[in-house]
A and B are shown apart, each in its own frame.
Chain A
Amino acid sequence: MSLLELERVTKRFGGLTAVDAVSLAVEPGEILGVIGPNGSGKTTLFATVSGFLAPEAGAMRFEGQSIAGLKPSRISALGIARTFQVVQPFAGLTVFDNVVAGALRGGRERLAPAQRAADQVISRCGLEAERNKLAGALTIAGRKRLEIARALATRPKLILLDEVMAGLRPTEVDQAIELVRTIRASGVTVIVVEHLMRAVMALAERLCVLHHGALIAQGDPREVIERPEVVEAYFGRKSAHA
């Protein structure tokens, strides 16, 4: 059984169809990459799967259970964690308290074990030096890491990483790639939405391409990015005069 199954999931904003009948199956233990030009519906798809937006049509199943229409907190409790493209730290709290808030897993963990777990996640994500800093005082790379740490602290089965490498320096990107690899190695299934092709190609075992909300290609990353419809989505149609 697939971990996550989407069946013709559709999300509209008025006349605009942001996610257009996307069908997709995510297998346990894989790293799935999702790419697409700006405005192609990647973030909307994440927001729909994580319960922040309700789909107009289609079915979403996680471990065989329907998750369409559930509140985000319920979906998180089932084992889907997400990060936000525009980072959303609890700016007035310390890094440690941010991660503890995740490690409490919505009440399924007691405080003392959650605090221990938070420290483990903090060291895993390389945030030890920032542990007692206010989250609002972190650099962008630190905030992206915190975003991952907090999501990871909920001990998800599936983690949705929304552009966690955007705005990072090359060495920071390498570290982030390594971090995502260790996350998968610990048994968590990963979906990465990423603009940075170097990162996606290094991580994804399978690649999905969205264009105008529709899934236009999926398969082996190296093969998918060569397909004409994908190239066209990114660069447009080749002019007759060129």
Chain B
Amino acid sequence: MPRRFLSDWRNWQLAVAMAFVVAAGAAGAFAGSDYFLQIMVLAAIYAAVGTAWTISGGLSGLLLLGYISFFGLGAYVDGLLYTKFGVNPWLCMPIAFAAAGLLAWLIALLTLRFGLSEDYFAMFTVALSQVLKYILLNWEFAGRATGVYLTVVKDDFATLSFVDRRPYLYIALALLAIVILVTWAVQRSRLGYYLAAVRENDQAAEALGIDSAKVKTKAIVLSGALAGMIGAFYTQFATFIDPKQVFSLATNFEMLLGPVLGGRLSIVGPVFGASFLKPLQDLLRGWLGGEADALYLVLYGAVLTVGILVLPKGVAAYVEAWHRRRYGNP
């Protein structure tokens, strides 16, 4: 690849992340066990969600802590449309994208137009995810606490159901590739400049003609919509929805761990962060045992907080510094 293209940090990340996605696909093709594939699919889903989060939680600088709302909503949109109305799962993904985007837009409207400050915004998003959980836990039509179960029609590409786990991995990686591309495109676009300006200094951005509320709204909507799309795929992969899981705060923080430690302003950060942390979390969970759910929450919360304080730009900052030296940018 031309050196000139790679000398841009964003392009370099795109190339590396895409190479990683392809390599993961190849590794999956030769993977022997379903257990291993299962972990890979989940890692890809987490990487995609984590990367999508960086558009709002990273680039725009918003403390969007309660991000799982969009994922959970997408999961339910797919589950309900598929089981109750027979909507094709492939079609459910764009619908979930739109539904989660709409939720994100409403959140932006409520919080930004009324000038909710940063910490309250964070609390609002966390609270909202739990409100959604309790609504779905009590909604008859959505199966209450039982959730939604999908009947699997065996090996049918048209209805996104496979006995083999491999096709799920390929689709998950394709979704991850889409999220990576979108994030890269955002970073390189005018919106990327506005987001950087608003993140760095809201007032100065406004003085330059940048409508900060509008810019943040765009970031939340795009970020939320992508999570919704991934949530829809998750339902098809898992074949059931447990409301306590798809709106779980523990899962929420698990999903943010990769981008926060990896680097929330980067692309490689969330991709590699989630890809390594998710399997690690699964191992850790096995080791700590099933009774320790509250312990995870404490652990993730602590790691997340320390990560934000100690490594505000994540591990990716060091890679970026290396890249700068390697390609001779001052």
Contact = CB atoms under 8 A, between A and B. Distances in A.
B244 to A, nearest CB: 39
A91 B200 CA distance: 7
Contacts of B329: 132
Interface string A101-116: 1101111101100100
Contacts of A52: 203, 206-207
A167 interface: no
Contact of B208 (A97, A133, A154): A154
B190 A107 contact: yes
Interface in A131-154: 132-133, 150-151, 153-154
Interface in A93-130: 93, 97, 100-102, 104-108, 110-111, 114
B102 interface: no
B205 interface: yes
Interface stretch (A28-36, A37-45, A56-64, A77-85): A77-85
A50 B207 contact: yes
A65 interface: no
B209 A154 contact: yes
Contacts of A198: none
B200 A111 contact: no
A111 B190 CA distance: 6
Interface in A152-201: 153-154
Interface of A: 50-52, 71-74, 76-77, 81-82, 84, 88-93, 97, 100-102, 104-108, 110-111, 114, 132-133, 150-151, 153-154
28 contacts: A51-B206, A73-B209, A73-B210, A74-B211, A76-B206, A76-B209, A84-B204, A88-B204, A91-B200, A92-B196, A93-B196, A93-B197, A101-B193, A101-B194, A101-B196, A101-B197, A101-B208, A102-B208, A104-B193, A104-B208, A105-B208, A107-B190, A108-B209, A110-B190, A111-B189, A132-B329, A150-B204, A151-B207
Interface of B: 189-190, 193-194, 196-197, 200-201, 203-212, 329-330
